Amino acid sequence: MRPAAVGFHCPEEGGAAASRRGGASRRPVTSLGGRAMMRRPGLVTQVLIGLCVVAYVLQGLPGLAGSGPDNAFTQDYSLYGPGIAFDDEYYRLLTAAFLHAGILHILFNMYALYLLGSQLEQILGRVRYLALFVVCAIGGNTLSYLVNGWSTFSVGASTAVFGFFAAYYVIARRLRADTSAILVIVGINLIITFTIARIDKWGHIGGLVVGLVVGAVYAYVPSRRGWVQAVAVGGVLAALLFAAVVRTSTLTLTSLSVFVQ
């Protein structure tokens, strides 16, 4: 059974009904546009986890050694404020989500990504789901850059994971499902976020907020109006990148004024 706008629908019954109407047999979809029966469920989630694992291996290769405790691969793709401000390396807003600071860090994030991601991917479909990951990752890292400026340094998929928490909550509310469990999980993770000093608090908050926005777009804009969803999500992404560019200009102007003085 699959959650629908009202109650639940059976994918097999939906396919049979379509055949009885004389139309071509099509794969049933969820009420939010995902395929009810995928040939390879969770494929995008598996690819994302694979990319994180590969990146983690590259982070540990001694042949890529750089200055300081992090190797050159980590330095080149982490969320690093001066790299964005001086060199316009805005790709860091996304690539930092695939890097991790330790074995426990990547294990926790990949476990959360697997649990939430597999479900969201089936409900939303692969394209919408991938867009959710990208925008939430960039959203969390952008807020971190806006707040921390020059001192920004962060890695981890938790920006996207927090976005998944929020989107899952909004979608569950839309489908009239019980949301108490996800609220408890979000609460526990927020407590952890604000009690451990090294965690990027603003990155988590940014991912959570963007996840709420994008989740609301997917939940309340009908899936048949895919172009409206695409424009809305694209607008969120454009606003985030614009905010990052504005932050860069303020940082460079500030440093220039200090140099002139």
| Position 88, amino acid | D
Q: Are strands 2-3 and 79-80 parallel, antiparallel or unpaired?
A: unpaired
Question: How many angstroms separate the CA atoms of 55 and 64, rounded?
Answer: 12
Beta bridge partners of 35: 29
Torsion angles phi and psi, residue 9, rounded to 5 = -115, 150
Q: Please tell me the distance from the alpha carbon of residue 96 to that of residue 135, in angstroms, as a whole number.
A: 13
The Cα–Cα gap between 132 and 234 comes to 11
**DSSP one-letter string for 194-219:** HHSTTS-HHHHHHHHHHHHHHHHHHH
CA distance 164 to 136: 8
Q: Tokens standing for 114?
A: 């697997």
Contacts of 101 (CB under 8 A, 6+ apart): 155, 156, 198
| 253 phi, psi to nearest 5 deg | -65, -40
Question: Which residues belong to the active site?
Answer: 158, 204
CB 101 within 8 A of CB 156: yes
What residue has token string 């969120």?
A: 236
